[in-house]
Structure 1
Amino acid sequence: MTSTQDLLLADASKSLQVIITNSAGRHPLEQVFASWLVPDCMPLSSIRSNIDAAASASGAQRTYQQVAILGYAAELTMCDEIQLDALRKGLDVLSGKEPFVTGGTLMGFVTDGVALMGIARGVVSLKEQPLTDKIHQWIDRCRSASAGFAVVPFQRALIDAASAIFQPNHSVIRLDDPQCADVRVMLRSKGLLDVEPLMNSESDEIQLLTDLLHHDSVVTTPLAAIRLCALRYITSKSPTLDLSRITVKDLGNVLRRVEAGMRFWTWEDSPRTKRKGAEARKWHIDNEYHVQNLLWVILAPLFPDLKDEEYTPKVGALQPRADICIPSMQLIIEVKFWRSTTSSQDMIREIAQDNSLYLVKGSRYKKIIAFVWDDARRNHQHDVLIQGLLDLQDVIDAIVISRPGNLIEMLSPPDEKNTIDQLEDQT
């Protein structure tokens, strides 16, 4: 892409942001939808006031749009218990509404993909199976009813996507309207549509960028939010170095070279300079936090969307927290500090447990790379440990490196990180 095209896309991004910002105070559902897609696009105070208003309505006064607002808010974890109860009641009422009223008039929610997606996300967040089943059937009825009517393409795609959320293998449902490349890219960014096959995702991204560079049509607030979300996703996937498209395999190869890259790691017995007051320095790596910091230095220049210690969806009372995440690759890098007192079997069990907590329904992450720092330099056990980790479901690569020989001064003290994380997971 040329520098001119880069500038045009930057202008497109600003224009989309302006469209969203100018909608403030006019369409509450559209504003919350935009915040679901692009969290920093609207003032938090404005979003909270929309959520409060939606929750305060009751009975016949609560519209389907307000239920959808609460649905998006629930996924954004912005609802308190009272608001979640309002969402629950609103969903129950909606599940009994028919797509047509007397005389064959179509209800407004049938063709409102923005609302149906919010309603779908809300019931998924509640994790209450009987209610989920009822909303699933209701959305399917709405989708069938909308089939005979003219619906704006992006709204149609959102209706299909809302229905697909409840399917056992929703990734195979075709949302193949040529005009909806932007919606498909957005859905991939939210983990709601498989990124494979790769050529399809690349084709959609090229189409979106082309549309943004040459668009001449009126763009509504929801479509602006979809496109801004999709554009940021494409931008975040591109490493800032001259790498056209880094793959999971490339990332694994980078991580395998960490040990070699530590050849010049600072570990001094005497000062390296003659400056007055200079002291010898040793950059200790004594726990998982230190290893995460090391990987962050390596990966942050490559992945602008890198996240550290990100919370994944709750599992019962547990609130799991992944070490390092790359949303654009739907990937978690799980870091472990392998102490001399821990067996390889314990390492496998720990990562298996983390795997089961992170990759649950509703998580935007689909796979894990295990990165193990061997503090005791048990090179002869690495192959067995790697094979054991690769046998775990959804662990697509495993890297085990040893503490470099020149860094050994004493074995590091017991790591308190796991204990702290376990306590925090229960709060």
Structure 2
Amino acid sequence: MNHSIDTTLSTQLSVLAQKIQSANQEADTDGLMARFFLERHASHVVWQVSCANWNWVTQNGHELKQGNFGKLAALGYSIWFSSATDRDLYASMFVEGEKRLKQRELFPADQVSFPNIPSAFLGIVLGTLALCDSKDKTELMSWLKQVLNEALRRNNPAGFTKLVYDYIGTRLDKRTLSIPLPDVRCTLVELALFDWGSRSGVFQVAAPYQNPQNLHERILTLACSVDVSELSAGESAVVWESVTSCLSSSIHDRVLSPSHVMQLLSRFESAMRRWRWDIDGKAKIVRWNIGEEREVQDIVWLILRSVFDDVVDEDSLPKLGHSSYKTDFGIPSIGTLIEVKFSRKREDFKRIEKEVMEDAIAYLQADRLYQRLIVFIYDDSASVQEHALTQSALEKLPNVEGVVIVSRPSHLPEATKQ
């Protein structure tokens, strides 16, 4: 990322921060929505938006009891942010007001009602979710689901509003939502909210081979060109959170690379010094078998998953012609596949070379998400004289990043004797 882009993003983030701060006032629903999106970030912000205090509740008690949706949304957010003890203090007031709200006309002609205002709708839902389990909570949750369905039917929302409602739906139904990556027509705010939702675990990318890096690139590109001063505080918050996360991911991707995978796997042999295979005579004998390829895959998974968050297990690649292919692990963030092989005897190296030579092209042509292949071979026979020849042959293949061959540690018996 060059200096001019860094400067532009820094300026844009400053503008977004100012928009967020402008709504950082007690009971401001837009400011409360901003705090919600930044719940895991922006720890440096001194939030002043919560209204979970007796002074505010007393002053606004009449409107709360009458079901004023703006006041209830503000209290709902504030209950969500509060400790369990403080939640109990204001829960009865919130429930009483929400029950009164149920009796109101929710879709008036002027459209001034919480189902039509994403920040208000989210606040009321969060407040309800924060309640202790009870008959009231169950009834209110059921009612909110009906309201959401009716709002979707009447308004046919799109863009940011639709994604907020999608998020509300996942929280009410306690489920994840599988949706495709936003297309090229999506705005910065939509992309940012999708990114936030996917990292929060509520939005799941429908096609697992759509590269999240492409989404991050689009967010950063738009963040450099869009006039963010026109965004609301809630929209500014989700964009600020997404851009900063994308920048962190960009730094992460520069540090972690296929060569990093090679370094991790090359330490396999020395790490096996602590692999348990107790000798006879101990009171409690522990022996961790490594007799099949799947057991080696389990170890490799532990190694990779401890560093890479996006490791995909047994990644089924799209079909190429009439055939489909399955490799052991994929790491989409660095475009790398890892294939694990198990050699029982010296003669197996020839078979492994042939399998990799046949499959490598198919692996990498089947989908553009992956550009490199790393081969990991566990040699149970400890035929070290074959290692250099096999490594040299496979590393000559196009797009093979590297080959790691390790031998069975001496304190483990051969697989056939375990």
What TM-score do the two structures reach when normalised by structure 2? Answer: 0.53
Closer, same or farther: CA 202–54 of 1 in aligned 2, 3 Å? farther
Q: Point out the more displaced range, 20-29 or 147-156.
A: 147-156
Please name the residue that 2:302 is paired with. Answer: 398
**Stretch of structure 1 that moved more, 213-222 or 233-242:** 233-242
Tell me whether 1:178 sits opposite 2:186 in the alignment.
yes
Q: CA offsets, 1:289-336, max 9 Å, x none?
A: xxxxxxxxxxxxxxxxxxxxxxxxxxxxxxxxxxxxxxxxxxxxxxxx
Q: Partner of 2:42 in structure 1?
A: 40
Q: Which amino acid aligns with 2:302?
A: A
Measured on the aligned residues, the alpha-carbon RMSD in Å equals: 4.7
Q: In the aligned structure 2, how far is the partner of 1:44 from the partner of 1:25?
A: 11
- Cα distance, 1:155 vs structure 2: 2.9
Q: Mind listing any 5+ residue stretches in structure 2 that lack a counterpart? A: 279-283, 307-418
CA separation in 1, counterparts of 2:222 and 2:18? 18
Selected match of 2:122 from 109, 117, 123: 117
Question: 1:165 maps to which residue?
Answer: 171
Distance 1:187 1:99, change over 3 A: farther
Q: Partner residue of 1:141?
A: 147
- 1:163 CA displacement: 1.9
Contact 2:12 2:224 (8 Å CA) reproduced: yes
Going from structure 1 to structure 2, the CA distance change for 1:22 and 1:170 (only over 3 Å counts) comes to: same
What is the deviation of 1:229? 1.2
1:205 aligns with 2:210: no
Q: Which residue of 2 aligns with 1:83?
A: 87
Task: Give, in whole Å, the separation in 1 of the partners of 2:134 and 2:180.
Answer: 26
**Structure 1 residues 215 and 65 mapped into 2: Cα distance closer, same or farther (>3 Å)?**
same
- Per-residue Cα deviation, 1:194-227 (whole angstroms, up to 9, x for no partner): 2553526444433322321111361111110110
C-alpha distance in structure 2 between counterparts of 1:239 and 1:398, whole Å: 23
Identity of aligned residues (%): 13
Q: For residues 134 and 295 of structure 2, what CA distance do their matches in structure 1 show?
A: 35
> Counterpart in 1 of 2:288?
381
Amino acid across the alignment from 1:215: V
SS at match of 1:94: helix
* Aligned-partner Cα distance in 2 for 1:202–1:105: 42
CA 123–26 in structure 1, closer or farther in 2 if over 3 Å, else same = closer
Q: Output one character per residue of 1:92-125: Cα deviation in whole Å (capped at 9) or x when no partner.
A: 6425525736975534201121222233333334
Deviation at 1:184, TM superposition (A): 0.7
In structure 2, relative to structure 1, the CA distance for the partners of 1:82 and 1:22 (3 Å cut) is: closer
CA contact (8 A) 1:112 1:159 kept: no
Instruction: Give the length in aligned residue pairs.
Output: 285
Q: Residue type of the partner of 1:51?
A: A
Q: Deviations over 1:55-114 (max 9, x none)?
A: 5543533643444344444544x3352434424642464255257369755342011212
User: 1:81–1:233: structure 2 CA closer, same or farther, 3 Å change rule?
Assistant: same
Distance 1:112-1:174 versus aligned 2 partners, 3 A rule: farther
Q: Which runs of 5+ in 1 are unaligned?
A: 264-336, 341-345, 347-375, 402-427
Deviation of 1:235 (Å): 2.1
Does the 8 Å CA contact 1:157/1:183 hold for their aligned counterparts?
Answer: yes
Taking the aligned partners of 2:26 and 2:78, their CA distance within structure 1 comes to 18
Measure, in 2, the Cα distance between the counterparts of 1:254 and 1:16.
40
The match for 2:64 is: 61
Measured in 2, the distance between the counterparts of 1:36 and 1:46 equals: 13
**1:58 aligned partner, one-letter code:** G
Cα deviation, 1:28-76, whole Å, max 9, x if unaligned, reads 222222222224377436145x332665543533643444344444544
Alignment CA distance shift 1:258-1:390 (3 Å): closer
Q: Does 1:13 align with 2:13?
A: yes
Higher Cα Rg: structure 1 or 2? 2
Deviations 1:127-153 (A, max 9, x none): 626414532432442452365448684
TM-score normalised by length of structure 1: 0.52
SS of 1:223's partner is helix
| Partners of 1:256 and 1:71 in 2: CA distance | 49
Give yes or no for contact 2:106–2:114 (8 Å, CA) kept in 1. no
One-letter amino acid matched to 1:190 = S
Output one character per residue of 1:222-246: Cα deviation in whole Å (capped at 9) or x when no partner: 1101101111222232344625778
CA distance in 1, matches of 2:202, 2:231: 23
Q: How does 1:317-336 map to 2 (within 5 A)?
A: none
SS of the equivalent of 2:173 reads coil
- Change in CA separation of 1:190 and 1:55 when aligned onto 2, cut-off 3 Å: farther
